[in-house]
Amino acid sequence: MELLPSASLFMLLLLSLLIFLPLISIGSVLDGQVEEKFTEELLLKPLPDRKVLAHFHFESTAPRTQYYGRHHHLFPKAIAQLVQKFSIREMELSFTQGRWEYESWGGYDPISSSSAKPPGVELWAVFDVPVDQVDASWKNLTHSLSGLFCASINFLESSTTYSAPELAFHPASVNLRYGTLPREAVCTENLTPWLKLLPCRDKSGISSLLDRPSIYRGFYHSQRLRLRRVKIRADAPDSDTVLEQTLTVVLQPNGIRSKESQSSKRKLHPTWSMSSLFGRKIEGRCALAKSSNVYLQLERDLVAEMKRLKEKRKFFDISVLNEDLIENPAFEISIKPDLVLREVLSSQNESSSLTYEYSIGKSASPNTFDLSFTWKSPVAWSCRKPPLRASRFLMGSGNERGTIAISLRSMGPDEGLNVSDMDKERCVLPVNIFQVVPWYIKVYFHTLKVFIDEKPMSVLDAVEKIHISPSEDKVSPGVMEMVLKLPCGVKSATITLEFDKGFLHIDEYPPDANQGFDIPSAIITFPNIEASIYFDQEITLKDLPLLSSFQEKNPIRYYTEVLLVPLTTPDFSMPYNVITITCTVFALYFGSLLNVLRRRVSEEERLHNAKGKSGPLSRLIAKLRRSKEIQPQSTTTSSSLFSSKLILKIIMVAAIAICWQYLSG
């Protein structure tokens, strides 16, 4: 009897081992695999035109292994289903409000090249499917994204709204599809689903700064979602899925100016802080984030300007100006950075940009983080600009034909690229131009003209490669891709294309047809000029994804303006006018006809006379009127005339109705 408890205890231990041993083995296998990872980062940068750039960067990585399958801990399930169902290799979706000012905010840095997008919606995707299935996958993807982000992306399913770039768009692939909606409005209905893809949403961490009124009152707002499959480890059998979510905002700080700054000749930049820009502070980091960092970046020209002021000894004292510029009389930072990263340049004559790193949770105020930037002396500088400024405009007048012109002008101080005189003759600057034109804008590509430095050039001499896909009515848009080869010392270059304006069916006009029709932005790419920043310390994808993306070799990309083309619009009130006039004529015609057919003149006279004979008063009145009564012959004549006039009227109304039906039919 004493052995029974020991036997039951032994059986219980054996059963527990059988249950937990598989779990322990599975856990040990999972420990050897790459785990899901989520990072959140924010970059703040003062701009020369008294504004502040805020760039939010969130990245989620999910390994593609047999152990995870369709279940994820941090990676959004909706995005994982899109990748699996539509075999997406790479995709990018952006919602943009406003236009990026390349002259004031820069165009030679990684943020402007990757996050500066055209107004409205831009979508491109590369599929891992056979070529004959790409269009079907694209249409299904647009419907899925439309429901996911509460937008009109499903309008891109039509073959008249998307194209297949082959030459001048990066990345080049046969399975690439590209489409834009320039007039798509951006609002909180698009931002809320975008935030739901984050593990902490907007409840904690850096994403808690995304206050809707603060974000949408900015001068520029662009939310971007990029999906790609990369092989982070060389020995990994499958590629990892990386979801990159960025939000770029340009805000105007409401700083307090002193009396001295108001009286100064050069205006003092306004003081700003995170709480004044967004109305909130960072209350700790996201619990699911592997790293949570805030960066403060100073442009090259700003650092160079402070060094010039140091040499002149106009504002600064040499003893208080260090190499990191943390302590200087020009500005003051409320929190000392954890790490200072300096840009590595090939030339020793140029000043390097500085990036201050703050790790949330490790700073002086681990619970609440509120970085403030206070200007104490006026400083003027400029951002790095692209080598050529691109603009697009329309020429001509009338609603029949016109001309599209794309102008490229140098933005350098010497109105040309910084190339020595000996190299200008041999140096060639390639420029890729990608332009999509709707089918109702009938472009004549044989009218292409090229002007370099305001001098006409032969197309064969100025164009290295060109790929043209003419438009087809109500089927596909017109696509032009070309590679210009310009001399490095060029000051201006212009290309022109003539076009005719087509006619649409009345059902194809939008509700606001009199406003005009949009031509999407042209994309200007400089393939040989890279927008990258290298730092003096080793930065890997595992540590700081945002700064690691700055080191990627991406070409400079420039978006032109959206053109507004007025087309000939019909009189939309014409159907109403036709219906009204036709109904009026028919009413007069049938009313008069029925009145004549149903009216009995003799019966009415008999009834009137019968009523007149009844009663003494009526007889007295009849005797008094006898002297004034007309003779029977005249009465007969007038009644005959009356009947003839009535018949003529009826015939005239019938003739008018017949003519109207003949002309309107």
CA atoms within 13 A on the CB side of 194: 26
Which pair of structure tokens corresponds to residue 648? 């003529």
511 in the same domain as 490: yes
Q: Is residue 552 part of a domain?
A: no
Higher pLDDT, 586 or 236: 586
- Which tens digits make up the pLDDT trace of 448-499? 999 999 999 999 999 999 999 999 999 999 999 999 999 988 999 999 999 9
Please report whether residue 380 resides in a domain: no
Banded pLDDT at 4 (limits 50, 70, 90): very low
**3-state SS of the chain: helix, strand, coil percent to 5?**
35, 30, 40
Lowest mean pLDDT among 220-224, 238-242, 316-320, 376-380: 316-320
- 353 shares its domain with 471: no
Cα 137 to the center of its chain, rounded Å: 22
pLDDT of 28 higher than 90:
no
Is 121 part of a structural domain of the chain?
A: yes
Contact 555, 527 (CB under 8 A): yes
Of the candidate ranges 76-85, 526-535, 541-550, the one whose mean pLDDT is the lowest: 541-550
Q: Which region holds residue 656: left if phi is over 0, alpha if psi is between -120 and 50, else beta?
A: alpha
Q: Which domain holds residue 59?
A: 38-375
Q: Give pLDDT tens digits for 579-625.
A: 888 889 888 888 888 877 777 666 666 666 666 555 565 666 666 66
Q: Are 504 and 510 in contact (CB under 8 A)?
A: no
- Worst-scoring range by mean pLDDT, 217-226, 294-303, 306-315? 306-315
Residue 99 burial (C-beta neighbours within 10 Å; 0-12, 13-18, 19+): middle
398 and 360 fall within a common domain: no
Q: Does the residue 16 lie in any domain?
A: no
Which pLDDT score is estimated for 538? 67
Instruction: Give the pLDDT score at 30.
Output: 42
> Considering 530, 554, 575, which residue would you say is the last residue of a domain?
530
122 and 194 belong to one structural domain: yes
User: What's the Cα-to-Cα distance from 350 to each of 301, 354, 532, rounded to whole Å?
Assistant: 9, 13, 16
Q: Is the pLDDT at 256 greater than 50, yes or no?
A: no
Confidence band of 636 (pLDDT split at 50, 70, 90): very low
For 541, left (φ over 0), alpha (ψ -120 to 50), or beta? Answer: alpha
| Cβ atoms of residues 560 and 408 within 8 Å | no
> Number of folded domains in the chain?
2
Residues 353 and 395 in one domain: no
Separation CA 209–CA 95 (nearest Å): 19
Query: Is it true that the peptide bond before 171 is cis, omega within 30 degrees of 0?
Result: yes
DSSP string, 34-61: PPPEEEEEEEEEE-TTS-EEEEEEEEEE
Q: Do 178 and 310 share a domain, yes or no? A: yes
Summary mean pLDDT of the chain: 82
Q: Are 560 and 522 in contact (CB under 8 A)?
A: yes
Same domain, yes or no: 406 and 333: no
Residue 156: closest CA among 559, 488, 436: 436
Statement to judge: residues 188 and 254 lie in one domain: yes
Q: Which two tokens stand for residue 39?
A: 């990072």
Query: Quick one: tokens of 654?
Result: 């019938």
Please provide residue 217's backbone torsions phi and psi, each rounded to the nearest 5 degrees.
Answer: -90, 0
pLDDT in tens, 148-188: 999 999 999 999 999 999 887 877 788 999 999 999 999 99
Residue 618 lies in a domain: no
Same domain, 357 and 440: no
Question: Would you call 513 helix, strand, or coil by DSSP?
Answer: helix
Do residues 521 and 551 make contact, with C-beta atoms less than 8 angstroms apart? no
Residue 233 predicted with pLDDT over 90: no
Same domain, 371 and 393: no
CA–CA separation, 665 vs 662, rounded Å? 5
Q: Are 214 and 347 within one domain?
A: yes
Residue 516 belongs to domain with CATH number: 2.60.40.1170
pLDDT of the residue at 574: 80
- Given 507, 530, 553, the domain boundary residue is 530
- Asked whether the beta carbons of 80 and 72 are under 8 A apart, the reply is yes
Domain final residue pick, 487, 507, 530: 530
Q: Examine residue 584 and state whether it is found in any structural domain, yes or no.
A: no
The DSSP code for 175 is T
Tokens of 252: 């105007």
User: In 3D, which of 284, 303, 300, 301 has the Cα closest to residue 292?
Assistant: 284
In a domain, 663, yes or no: no
Whether residue 338 sits in one domain with residue 215: yes
Residue 23 lies in a domain: no
